[in-house]
Amino acid sequence: MSDSTSDTRPGSVCHLEWFINSRCDYTCRRCVPEASVQDKPDLGLEACAEALYSFVSFAEETARDAHITFYPRQAEFTDPFLTILDTVRDLKTRGLVKHVACAIRGDVPSDKIKLFRNAQVDALRLTIDGPEAVQDELRRRGSFQDTLAAMREARDSGILVIPLVILVEHNAPHVVDTMRMMLDEGFDRLVLQVGIRGDVGGAGTLAGHHPDPESPWNQLLLASEYRAVLVEALNFLDSVRDRHEEFRTRFILANPMYARLLFELGRAREYDQLAAAQARASVLPFALKPDGAVVAQQQLPEIGAFPGGSFKKMFETFHPLRWFRGATQQDDYMAVKQSAFGKCSSCPVRSHCKPMLVGVQDRRLFYHPDVHCWVGEGAVDSGQA
Ligand code: SF4
C-alpha cells in the first residue's frame, strides 16, 4: 500500500522510517510482543543524533527532500525520542527536513497530540478499525471514542490526519461505513493496510503474525475477498464522486489492485487517466531500527548501523539502492523483476502494478506478484461498479 506520508509531488525524496523505541506497553493486541524484544539495547541520544545528522547531510548533498516518519512507542514518551523530535523541528525550521510524520495507535492521548503539535509534526497516521462496536471488540471498550477524540484534536491543531485501517475479516464488512464516517468527520484521506491469506500471507502488511491463531488479527482475507472490498468501496466512491473527487482519486491510486479491478470492469481507461495525472516522486527508502541497524526495506539485509554509520556510504555501497535513485530507474527495475512471473507478463495492467519484495538471501532480492492479486486464485465474481 502506498504511504501517504511519501507524497506524490515531483522531485526526489529520501524517506527515513525511524523505529525509535523498541519498548512498548504491549496493550495493542495486534502486535507481537516478542518482536519488540531485541538482543541489543536501543540507541542512546548521542547515536540517534549522529544518525539524524548523517541522514540530513545525505539528503542535502544529493539534493533530496528529507522526510522522516517516526514510529514511537505507545507508552510514555522518553528520550531519545523527545530530544530528537525537538532537533528535527529546528532542522525543519532551517529547511533541512521537509516533512515529519508519526505513525501510532489511534487512541493517542491529548498530551501527546500537544507534543506533536509543538514539534510541528506535519502528519499523524492513526489506526482506526471501523465503527465503535467493531473497534471496541477488536481493541478495548472506549478505544473508538478515544481514537475519534485524538483525530479531532490533531486535525484542529493543524496536523494532517491520515486514518489507517488494518483490514482483517472482522472489520472488512465495515470499510464503507468507515469511509463514510471519516468523510463526515472531515478527514479526506484513508489508507488500507491489508493482510492476505496465501503462501506469502501477510507479506508487506502488519497483520497476520500474531502468535495466537484465534486472534482476529490473524483472520486474513483471501485475495478474492479483498477484491469484493474494493468493489464495495468503488461503488461508494462513485456515489459520492461529485462531493469527494480528490478523496476518490487518492483512494483509488493508493490501492494498486484498482488497476486490475477497473480493467475487469471495462474501465481501464479511467484508471489510466487518473494515473497519468499523478506526478510521482522518486523515493529513496531507509529504515532505522531501535538498535541502530539500517535497512532499505524491512525484508532487506542490514546495510549499515549506528553509531559509526553513514547514509552516504550505505547508498554508495549497497547496490540495490541504486535502483531507487529515480522514478524511471525504479520502474525499469520492477519491470524486469515482474517479467519473470507468467501471469504478470501477460497482464494488461502490468505497467501499473509492481511486484513485492518478499525476501532476501545472500544479498539477492526475491520478489512475488502483488500478494493482493486475485488473478489465478479461481473464479471471482465480476462485481458491480
Ligand atoms: S500481480 Fe500481476 S497479474 Fe496481478 S494485477 Fe499485478 S501485474 Fe496483473
Question: Does pLDDT of 366 surpass 90?
Answer: no
Q: Is the dihedral of CA 330, 256, 164, 157 positive or negative?
A: positive
Q: How far is the CA of 322 from the centre of ligand 1 (A)?
A: 25
pLDDT value, residue 5 = 36
Q: State which of 255, 346, 375 you would mutate to test the pocket of ligand 1, scoring each by most atoms of that ligand within 8 A of its C-beta.
A: 375
pTM for the whole thing?
A: 0.86
Q: How far is the CA of 319 from the centre of ligand 1 (A)?
A: 26
What is the position in ligand 1's atom list of the atom closest to the CA of 259?
Answer: 5
CATH code for residues 12-368: 3.20.20.70
* Cα separation, 120 vs 118, whole angstroms: 5
Candidate from 261, 343, 374 with most ligand 1 atoms within 8 A of CB, to mutate: 343
- pLDDT level of residue 12 (50, 70, 90 thresholds): confident
What integer is the mean pLDDT of 292-316? 87
For ligand 1, atom 4, the nearest C-alpha belongs to 373
Cα–Cα distance measured from residue 46 to residue 52, given in angstroms and rounded to the nearest whole number: 10
Predicted pLDDT at 202: 43
Q: How far is the CA of 23 from the centre of ligand 1 (A)?
A: 38
Residue count (the chain): 385
Atom index in ligand 1 nearest the CA of residue 260 equals: 5
Please give the DSSP secondary-structure letter assigned to residue 221.
B
pLDDT digits (tens, 9 = 90+) for 199-244: 554 443 444 455 667 778 888 899 999 999 999 999 999 999 999 9
For residues 35-49, give the mean pLDDT: 79
Provide φ and ψ at 53, rounded to 5°.
Answer: -70, -35
* Ligand 1 centroid – CA 351 distance (Å): 9
How far is the centre of ligand 1, averaged over its atoms, from the C-alpha of 343 (Å)? 7
User: Which atom of ligand 1 lies at the shortest distance from residue 350's CA?
Assistant: 7
Q: Where are the domains of the chain?
A: 12-368
Q: Per DSSP, what are the bridge partners of residue 381?
A: none
Q: For residue range 325-337, what is the model confidence (pLDDT) as tens digits?
A: 666 777 788 888 8
User: From atom 6 of ligand 1, which residue's Cα is the shortest distance away?
Assistant: 353
Q: Which range, 7-11, 98-102, 272-276, 377-381, is most confident?
A: 98-102
Q: Which three cell numbers stand for residue 184?
A: 463526515
What mean pLDDT do residues 150-173 have?
A: 96
In which band, very low, low, confident or very high, does the pLDDT at 380 lie, cut at 50, 70 and 90? Answer: very low
Contact at 8 Å (CB) between 101 and 83? no
CA 103 – ligand 1 centroid, Å:
29
Q: How many CB atoms sit inside 10 A of residue 201's CB?
A: 15
Residue among 271, 336, 349 whose CB has most ligand 1 atoms within 8 A, to mutate: 349
Cα of 251 vs centre of ligand 1, distance in Å, is: 19
- Residue 192's H or E segment, with its range, is strand 191-194
Lowest mean pLDDT among 122-126, 156-160, 198-202, 264-268: 198-202
User: Residue 277: is its pLDDT beyond 60?
Assistant: yes
Looking at residue 336, its pLDDT comes to 85
Helix H, strand E, coil C: the string for 228-268 is: HHHHHHHHHHHHCCCCCHHHHHHHHHHCCHHHHHHHHCCCH
- pLDDT of residue 32 exceeding 60, the answer is no
- For ligand 1, the distance from its centroid to the CA atom of residue 239, given in whole angstroms, is 27
Per-residue pLDDT band at 267 (split at 50, 70, 90): very high
Q: What three-state secondary structure class fits 382?
A: coil
Model confidence at 42: pLDDT above 90: no
C-alpha span between 254 and 7 (Å, rounded): 11
Least-confidence region, from 60-64, 94-98, 236-240, 266-270: 60-64
Nearest to 147 by CA among 129, 133, 122: 129
Residue 327 confidence (pLDDT): 67
> From CA 309, how far away is CA 307, in angstroms rounded?
6
Strands across the sheet containing 282-288: 191-194, 160-167, 123-127, 99-104, 65-70, 12-18, 282-288, 293-295, 304-305
Q: Which residue has the higher pLDDT, 369 or 22?
A: 369
Percent over 90 (pLDDT), the chain:
58
Ligand 1 centroid–CA 331 distance in Å is 15
The vertex-31 CA angle with 29 and 35, nearest 5°, equals 140
Residues 107-135, mean pLDDT to the nearest whole number: 96
What average pLDDT does the chain have? Answer: 85
* Higher per-residue confidence, 206 vs 170: 170
pLDDT of residue 28: 58
> What are the backbone angles phi and psi of residue 46, rounded to the nearest 5°?
-60, -45
- What is the number of other CB atoms lying within 10 angstroms of the CB of residue 328? 9
> What was the pLDDT predicted at 7?
38
Contacts of 150 (CB under 8 A, 6+ apart): 106, 107, 108, 109, 110, 113, 126
Cell of 126: 492513526
SS (H, E, C) 258-301: HHHHHHHCCCHHHHHHHHHCCCCCEEEEEEECCCCEEECCCCCC
Which mutation among 227, 230, 258, 260 tests ligand 1's pocket best, with the greatest number of atoms within 8 A of CB? 260
What is the Å distance from ligand 1's center to 375 Cα? 7
The stretch 368-383 carries a mean pLDDT of: 72
pLDDT value at 39 more than 70: no
Report CA(367)–ligand 1 centroid distance (Å). Answer: 13
Closest atom of ligand 1 to CA, residue 369 = 1
Give the pLDDT of residue 36: 46
Confidence tier at 303 by pLDDT (50, 70, 90): confident
Name every protein residue with a CB atom under 6 angstroms from any ligand 1 atom.
Answer: 260, 343-344, 347, 349-350, 353, 369-370, 373, 375
Comparing 256 with 328, the larger pLDDT belongs to 256
- 172 has a pLDDT exceeding 80: yes
Sign of the alpha-carbon dihedral angle for 108, 112, 116, 118 = positive
Mean pLDDT for the stretch of residues 63-68: 95
Grid coordinates 524491512 are at which residue? 298
- Of 261, 350, 377, the one to substitute when testing ligand 1's pocket (max ligand atoms within 8 A of C-beta) is 350
